[in-house]
Amino acid sequence: MTHAHYYPADLALALLQRWPADAPPLPAADVLTDFLSVLYQASLLFEEGQAVRCHAVLASPAQLAAQPVALTDFHLVRLAEVRAWNEQEVRRLSPAVHPATSLLAVAPTPDGRLQLWGLLFSGHQWDQLADELPRTLAHAPQALLVQLGGPGSLVFYYGAHRVLTLQRGRIEGHGFLQFPRAWGAGRFLENQQLAGPAAAGLPWTEEQNECLLHLVLRMQRRALTQARSSGHGMLVVLVPTPRVAELLVPGGVLRPKYRLLPPEAGPRYPNLVRAIIQRLLALGELSWTCYQQSPDAELRYLTAELDQFGNDLAAMGAVDGAIVLTHQMEVVGFGVEVQATQVPLTQVYRALDVGGQTLQALPADQSGTRHRAAYRLCLAAPDCLAIVVSQDGNVQFVHNHAGRVIVWDQLSF
């Protein structure tokens, strides 16, 4: 294709080209285009002041009944009168299928018209790429599933497996659900210090590193998800612990309006992580698998507290300015102004892979004020990391590598 942006007909062609060979066939291109066009237009609408976000499956009742694995995880609700498939119906019904556990059910008639005939509800998420864990996965319908994540943001699945994504009008090189390891490698894990005395003397393994990293990611995703759903933008700045005093000194790069005193009982997040580690050791295995699968009541309680910490970060991040944390997730302050306007900035680089090996140069002035503040900060203080949540829900991770500001666009969490 020679044009720069994908539209419903282009998306239909891309889906037909990338659809798994062993999957049930998609409908004809014109029917598929109509299905995608309605979803795309619905993504630009608002319901009760919030951008429309929902999920849909393209399958008839007979196709769902003939699934190779019975959809016992889903409760099927059939409409007494089918509805026309249009963006206003999607808008009106979107609150019912906002969670990733629910789906609008759509199917074509023999003459190619699309009808909205029901809803699927489940107590479990079906997306295997989302890692807000621990949780139980539902058996997703083996059909075309679409996650509508906000204006112009659509993710297409065959069952639980992602086929392609659309963000900002393009499907190539945009959007990662995985955490960009190049962005965070070696940053948070002042590892054994974060683990605390409970893990002292342990032979430290990659599996234990992974467990600690996943605990960081879980809390971060919780905070970012809360920020996205609130409709507020947020700028998160992560600084190396030894650099806090230098960066926040009067006249420094970071000027906090609300600086926090260290808690008397110690930093909340490290305390929670140490309690989780101590409990995992008591249960016999310090690993992410054990954490995910354990039914232990104390571990579940600590997980709820970890999630609440993420909620608290999102609440502080809603205040104008950045929220600043150390790599050990200690909150330094919020309402922080980035003082780096003197730093020259002409372009940044979008990562087209998770490792940041393939890059695309972009003019820096295409982004908003919050994004440019993050870019300039990472130029002025290369050992800082930043996460930017825009008001429309887009999320970027920002990192300086070899003098280049690299950004990773993230899909919804």
Shared domain for 345 and 400, answered yes or no, is yes
Please, are residues 187 and 169 in contact by the beta-carbon 8 Å criterion? no
pLDDT digits 0-9 by tens, 239-286:
988 999 999 988 889 999 999 988 877 788 888 988 998 899 889 888
Shared domain for 338 and 361, answered yes or no, is yes
Shared domain for 203 and 146, answered yes or no, is no
Work out the angle between the directed axes of helices 206-230 and 268-283 (0-180°, nearest 10): 130
Burial class from Cβ neighbours inside 10 Å (0-12, 13-18, 19+) for residue 93 reads buried
pLDDT band at 37 (very low <50, low <70, confident <90, very high): very high
Shared domain for 21 and 149, answered yes or no, is yes
pLDDT digits 0-9 by tens, 343-370:
788 899 988 777 778 888 889 888 888 9
pLDDT band at 133 (very low <50, low <70, confident <90, very high): very low
Instruction: Name the phi and psi angles at 147, rounded to 5.
Output: -105, 120
pTM over 0.85: no
Shared domain for 77 and 213, answered yes or no, is no
Q: Domain ends where: 108, 142, 166?
A: 166
d(C-alpha 151, C-alpha 168), whole Å = 9
Q: Residue 379 is part of a domain; what is its CATH number? A: 3.40.1700.10
User: Is 202 among the domain residues?
Assistant: yes
8-state DSSP, 261: P
pLDDT attached to residue 312: 94
Please, are residues 254 and 336 in contact by the beta-carbon 8 Å criterion? yes
User: Is 24 among the domain residues?
Assistant: yes
Q: Which residue has the tokens 């090996």?
A: 357
> Looking at the DSSP assignment, which residues form a beta bridge with residue 322?
235, 336
DSSP 3-state assignment of 399? strand
Listing DSSP states for 203-218 in one string gives ---HHHHHHHHHHHHH
Q: Which of 42, 389, 60, 4 is nearest to 221 (CA)?
A: 389
pLDDT attached to residue 220: 83
pLDDT band at 94 (very low <50, low <70, confident <90, very high): very high
pLDDT digits 0-9 by tens, 167-206:
766 665 445 555 565 666 656 555 456 666 656 566 667 7
**Range 325-340 average pLDDT:** 90
Residues 6+ positions from 228 with CB-CB distance below 8 Å: 389, 393, 395, 412, 413
* CB count in 10 Å sphere of residue 64: 20
pLDDT attached to residue 204: 64
Shared domain for 148 and 276, answered yes or no, is no
Q: Domain ends where: 132, 166, 200?
A: 166
Shared domain for 235 and 367, answered yes or no, is yes
In the numeric block, which tokens belong to residue 329? 């997730």
DSSP 3-state assignment of 143? coil
In the numeric block, which tokens belong to residue 385? 């990391």
DSSP 3-state assignment of 239? strand
Please, are residues 46 and 52 in contact by the beta-carbon 8 Å criterion? yes
Shared domain for 123 and 226, answered yes or no, is no
Please, are residues 400 and 390 in contact by the beta-carbon 8 Å criterion? no
Shared domain for 389 and 279, answered yes or no, is yes
Lowest mean pLDDT among 57-71, 192-206, 315-329: 192-206
User: Is 278 among the domain residues?
Assistant: yes
* Domain interval for residue 275: 181-410
What domain count does the chain have?
A: 2
Work out the angle between the directed axes of helices 297-317 and 206-230 (0-180°, nearest 10): 50
User: Is 173 among the domain residues?
Assistant: no
Query: In percent, how much of the chain has pLDDT > 90?
Result: 41
Shared domain for 197 and 272, answered yes or no, is yes
pLDDT attached to residue 32: 95
